[in-house]
A and B are shown apart, each in its own frame.
Chain A
């Protein structure tokens, strides 16, 4: 290496730091932008595939609507609690059977829950809910109805926002808790203790068990999954329409925007995506590190 002087063509620039070169530190040569890459690893969405996936969000929205519809019926004493309880029980048994059938067909991965554990959980749910329903009945007696409604609305919104749509099988803590809190608040406004009990069992069914069943369905029978989502959405709209027409219209709009408009926007805007990658990115370790762990 000669003394400092004008860089001659005899000394080519190399992108190394460990060698003393007659270039300033921030020097780059013409080859710099050759390594520019755009939109690396981009996934090209297809519209109907996205709509199908967004169906999960839509059916969760409808589930909330169905729950609210049921509560409205209960509050106006149009729906006796016994009917709700019996129908819940039948739904639960049917769903349980379906769940068992679906999981046994796939030769269960991991250790499956035994029937005894399921029975134990069911017993805990029922006994606690039944025992606490008189307490829950008087819990919000002195609290203003508006406050209770506002709290429930807030909690249901939190449930929808924090719901783990990608992996709902072990239900997310915050989403389930928010939904349960809202249902306790709503159930405490009902006229009787049995109403409260029925409402809470129903909430458990809708918010805790139904997503699990739907997830199994999505994994094992994707063809039926779309149909079920459609059915739930229609059920929600019809149910809400029987109580308030405005609510049904709003729900329809929301569902349309979530399942049709938002995927459309996603696919359209995908064209404008412009990510650039290059040698200036921070280092990325591609090697599989799991072999070092053992």
Chain B
């Protein structure tokens, strides 16, 4: 059997005393948490330990004794052995350090054996006996206390259940015995102890003040949120039917979606309950930090926008841009109405479609010109929302792009509908051509005998559709490409908004500046392996990988939901079904 003793590094040079800690249940190991120095009254030590146990919920015990001989001090071996009778334990550790030597010497006294025979015989010295080996694992108490071992348990961790892994138990024990460490070196108590010392409570006054101030702030925010929710809910529910288009529109506009996200985030932040569990805490931290960064970036952008009258420049640029796009589209349509790329199209259908789309562009241009006097105002007031964050600016931009390219969307929809109709017609008429039909009940193709007139009309239509298909397909292809360009641009905007919303900035900051806070595991390093002393290992914390940090702590947004695969998208494009860029949002709203 190997006995593992987890020993805090800060106690290496502590004066002699009692080792306070905990035996890890189910494993042959002990965690030393602190050293209580001489002189003490045993009753007070017991009382203190009980008090600490009640506060922290850790089964604290006196593990054994610790002796660091000083010059001119006689050996206290007999005294130390006597101590074990004062604090009755199953096993009693006698850890001692000798002058000028690195390693510790550990003696393990088993109580039930001491009762039977003289202790001197049954005291097992490590350098003599090979039966029970002792390994000292030195750990840095502060880092272990603050770090969170991954992977964390899913769901709510029950503080009363013990984790199975030994390492996890060690980490949990150290983390939960935090009240033990509040005993200050300068406290005038009956007990003096050595453990990791906090930097004193004075340093945290600012934090305490902030905590005090945050309560009314949170209450204010939650009140405002409740008001906002009430307004939005009541406006939707009162006239749900008359406002249906509004609701539909709001689920399509990315600004509205962003508002709803922010509302939810703020609700999470401003909830008066403290964060339950590590995950919740990290989530709150992530949301807060990304919100602050977002607002900071937004204010930077706003200061640039409103400084040199950039808004007016932008508005003046928008009109010629829209005109230019319309002109390009017109040229494209003229090209399509000729013989594009040497393709032979059906002239009559080509002319009809081309004129239809040209008329549509004409309508669109008149609409834009009608709008032009108001665009600057809209931009100016819309730009104010940038102070809510960069994500709002990006969402607004995405919405404006969607509105300004509405004609392209319309073209796409017309083209896709026409193409879809042809494809479906052709597929069913092709079945008729072969004398088959689609059996709806059995979901398969059955043979069927048609009448002569059915066959005649079907073949007539099949021929017509087949010869008209290339023309429609070309229009569909061109407008789908245009639409895909717009969708790509919007997708980039959405992705960046989503990135700001969901990137775990707080967790990344912790990972970079306090790598030990998020631990993935530990590594051991041999400190000294002198013959005659126990093996000494130094436990170091392996920080979590950055990719794992992002994966674990990203705030869930719509990009986390499963999406159409590329194959499905290509199939949709081929069949002519509409690819809805905002599809995932609408399904979520449903």
Residues on A close to B: CB < 8 A? 121, 124-125, 128-129, 132, 135-136, 138-144, 170-174, 176-177, 180-181, 184-185, 204, 208-209
Q: A141-B346, A142-B347 are in contact. Are A173 and B464 (CB under 8 A)?
A: no
Contact A139 B435 (CB under 8 A): no
Q: A173-B449, A181-B462 are in contact. Are A208 and B344 (CB under 8 A)?
A: no
Within 8 A of A (CB), among B459-498: 459-460, 462-464, 467-468
Residues on B close to A: CB < 8 A? 344-348, 432-435, 449-453, 455-460, 462-464, 467-468
**Which residue of the partner chain, among A129, A138, A139, A172, contacts B463 with CB atoms under 8 Å?**
A139
**Which residue of the partner chain, among A139, A140, A180, contacts B456 with CB atoms under 8 Å?**
A180
Chain B residues with Cβ under 8 A from A177's Cβ? 432-435, 455, 458-459, 462
Interface SS majority for chain A: helix
Q: How far is the CB of A135 from chain B (nearest CB, A)?
A: 6
Question: How many Å lie between the Cα of A20 and that of B453 in the bound state?
Answer: 67
Q: A173-B435, A177-B433, A181-B463 are in contact. Are A128 and B346 (CB under 8 A)?
A: no
**Which residue of the partner chain, among B348, B451, B460, contacts A180 with CB atoms under 8 Å?**
B460
Chain A residues with Cβ under 8 A from B468's Cβ? 139
Q: Residue of A at shortest CB range from B449?
A: A170
Q: Residue of A at shortest CB range from B471?
A: A142
**Which residue of the partner chain, among B345, B458, B463, contacts A142 with CB atoms under 8 Å?**
B345
Q: A142-B347, A143-B344 are in contact. Are A173 and B457 (CB under 8 A)?
A: no
Contact A121 B453 (CB under 8 A): yes
Question: How many Å lie between the Cα of A174 and that of B456 in the bound state?
Answer: 11
Q: How many CB-defined contacts (below 8 Å) exist between A and B?
A: 80
Q: A139-B463, A142-B346, A208-B452 are in contact. Are A128 and B433 (CB under 8 A)?
A: no
Question: How many Å lie between the Cα of A171 and that of B456 in the bound state?
Answer: 11
Question: How many Å lie between the Cα of A135 and that of B346 in the bound state?
Answer: 10
Chain B residues with Cβ under 8 A from A128's Cβ? 456-457, 460
Contact A174 B433 (CB under 8 A): yes
Among B345, B433, B458, the one with the most A-chain Cβ atoms within 10 Å of its Cβ is B433
**Which residue of the partner chain, among B347, B348, B452, B458, contacts A121 with CB atoms under 8 Å?**
B452
Q: How far is the CB of A106 from chain B (nearest CB, A)?
A: 21
Q: A171-B452, A177-B458 are in contact. Are A139 and B434 (CB under 8 A)?
A: no
23 A-B contact pairs sorted by A residue (CB < 8 Å): A128-B460, A136-B463, A139-B346, A139-B464, A139-B468, A141-B346, A141-B347, A142-B346, A142-B347, A144-B344, A172-B435, A173-B433, A173-B434, A173-B449, A173-B455, A174-B434, A176-B452, A176-B456, A177-B434, A177-B435, A181-B462, A184-B459, A185-B463
Q: How far is the CB of A203 from chain B (nearest CB, A)?
A: 9
Question: How many Å lie between the Cα of A129 and that of B452 in the bound state?
Answer: 14
Q: A121-B452, A121-B453, A173-B455 are in contact. Are A184 and B460 (CB under 8 A)?
A: yes
Chain A residues with Cβ under 8 A from B453's Cβ? 121, 124-125
Chain A residues with Cβ under 8 A from B462's Cβ? 177, 181
Contact A140 B467 (CB under 8 A): yes
Chain A residues with Cβ under 8 A from B460's Cβ? 128-129, 132, 136, 180, 184
Q: Residue of B at shortest CB range from A171?
A: B452
Q: Residue of A at shortest CB range from B458?
A: A177
Q: Residue of B at shortest CB range from A208?
A: B452
Q: A132-B464, A141-B346, A143-B344 are in contact. Are A180 and B455 (CB under 8 A)?
A: yes
Chain A residues with Cβ under 8 A from B463's Cβ? 136, 139, 180-181, 184-185
Question: How many Å lie between the Cα of A20 and that of B92 in the bound state?
Answer: 82
Question: How many Å lie between the Cα of A141 and that of B453 in the bound state?
Answer: 26
Q: How far is the CB of A206 from chain B (nearest CB, A)?
A: 13
Question: How many Å lie between the Cα of A88 and that of B468 in the bound state?
Answer: 30
Q: How far is the CB of B52 from chain A (nearest CB, A)?
A: 87
Chain B residues with Cβ under 8 A from A170's Cβ? 449
Q: How far is the CB of A2 from chain B (nearest CB, A)?
A: 60
Q: How far is the CB of A123 from chain B (nearest CB, A)?
A: 9
Q: Residue of A at shortest CB range from B433?
A: A177
Chain A residues with Cβ under 8 A from B345's Cβ? 142
Contact B467 A139 (CB under 8 A): yes
Question: How many Å lie between the Cα of A172 and that of B462 in the bound state?
Answer: 17
Q: Residue of A at shortest CB range from B344?
A: A142
Chain B residues with Cβ under 8 A from A172's Cβ? 435
Contact B347 A138 (CB under 8 A): yes
Contact A138 B464 (CB under 8 A): no
Question: How many Å lie between the Cα of A176 and that of B434 in the bound state?
Answer: 10
Given contacts A132-B464, A170-B449, A174-B435, 17 further A-B contacts (CB under 8 A): A121-B453, A124-B453, A128-B460, A136-B460, A136-B463, A139-B467, A139-B468, A140-B467, A142-B347, A171-B455, A172-B435, A173-B455, A177-B433, A177-B462, A180-B459, A181-B459, A208-B456
Chain A residues with Cβ under 8 A from B432's Cβ? 173, 177
Sorted nearest first, the 4 A-B pairs with minimum C-beta distance are: A173-B435, A142-B344, A180-B459, A184-B463
Q: A172-B435, A173-B432 are in contact. Are A124 and B457 (CB under 8 A)?
A: yes
Contact B449 A125 (CB under 8 A): no
Chain B residues with Cβ under 8 A from A139's Cβ? 346, 463-464, 467-468
Chain B residues with Cβ under 8 A from A174's Cβ? 433-435
Q: A141-B347, A180-B459 are in contact. Are A173 and B467 (CB under 8 A)?
A: no
Q: Residue of A at shortest CB range from B343?
A: A142
Chain B residues with Cβ under 8 A from A144's Cβ? 344
Chain A residues with Cβ under 8 A from B452's Cβ? 121, 171, 176, 208-209
Chain A residues with Cβ under 8 A from B455's Cβ? 171, 173, 176-177, 180, 208
Q: Residue of A at shortest CB range from B436?
A: A173
Among A174, A180, A204, the one with the most B-chain Cβ atoms within 10 Å of its Cβ is A180
Q: How far is the CB of B504 from chain A (nearest CB, A)?
A: 59
Question: How many Å lie between the Cα of A140 and that of B464 in the bound state?
Answer: 9
Q: How far is the CB of A43 from chain B (nearest CB, A)?
A: 29
Q: How far is the CB of A184 from chain B (nearest CB, A)?
A: 4
Question: How many Å lie between the Cα of A47 and that of B463 in the bound state?
Answer: 43
Question: How many Å lie between the Cα of A121 and that of B453 in the bound state?
Answer: 6
Q: A180-B455, A181-B463, A208-B452 are in contact. Are A138 and B435 (CB under 8 A)?
A: no
